[in-house]
Structure 1
């Protein structure tokens, strides 16, 4: 089992910091390269750069009332990447990256999506 995981290219789990402006404030986000790649794919689907996508996610998280001092935004981005891939595997987000995320019905996508975290 371990061979499947340890044979991954080390560049995928190397971390990289990027400076991004959120509400006019420059902030540094540190993620593994694999997560930056997934964010690039998500953004490209809707014609957004990674900074634009991250800014939009931040704004929507803030508007939802789920962003507070205890929120680890980098962790939120990692979970967003994993949910994206889970929903693709479940057939709720098309694998065809030419299909914009904004064109999907969120209620339908989430109707049988990944379960919530255990309590």
Structure 2
């Protein structure tokens, strides 16, 4: 089993920092390359660059009152990437990268998560 994971290309788990602006403030985020790839895919589905996607996520978190000093935005991004992939595997997000995520019904996408497990 471990071979599946340890034979991954080391470039995937190498970290890299990117500078972006959130609410006009320059900041640097450090993520593993695999997460940057997933964020690129998520953003591309809706015609957004990674900085635009991160800015939108940050703004929506802030306007919903879910962003506070205790929240680690980088951890939020990692979990968001994993949720995106899990929802694809569950068939709740279509694999067609040409279908914008903004066109999906969030209630339907998330309905499977809210069901009690059998």
TM interval, short-chain normalised: over 0.9
Alpha-carbon displacement from aligned partner over 1:48-86 (angstroms, at most 9, x marks no partner): 000000000000111111110100000000000000000
Unaligned runs of 5+ in 2: none
For the residues of structure 1 that align with 2:7 and 2:55, how far apart are their CA atoms? 34
- Give the 4+ runs in structure 1 shifted more than 6 A: none
Counterpart in the other structure of 1:11:
11
**1:77 and 1:30, CA in 2 relative to 1: closer, same or farther beyond 3 A?**
same
- Asked if the contact 1:87–1:113 (Cα under 8 Å) also holds between the matched residues in 2, the reply is no
Unaligned runs of 5+ in 1: none
For the residues of structure 1 that align with 2:95 and 2:114, how far apart are their CA atoms? 16
Q: TM-score, normalised by structure 1?
A: 0.94
For the residues of structure 1 that align with 2:105 and 2:19, how far apart are their CA atoms? 32
Q: TM-score, normalised by structure 2?
A: 0.95
For the residues of structure 1 that align with 2:110 and 2:43, how far apart are their CA atoms? 19
Aligned length: 115
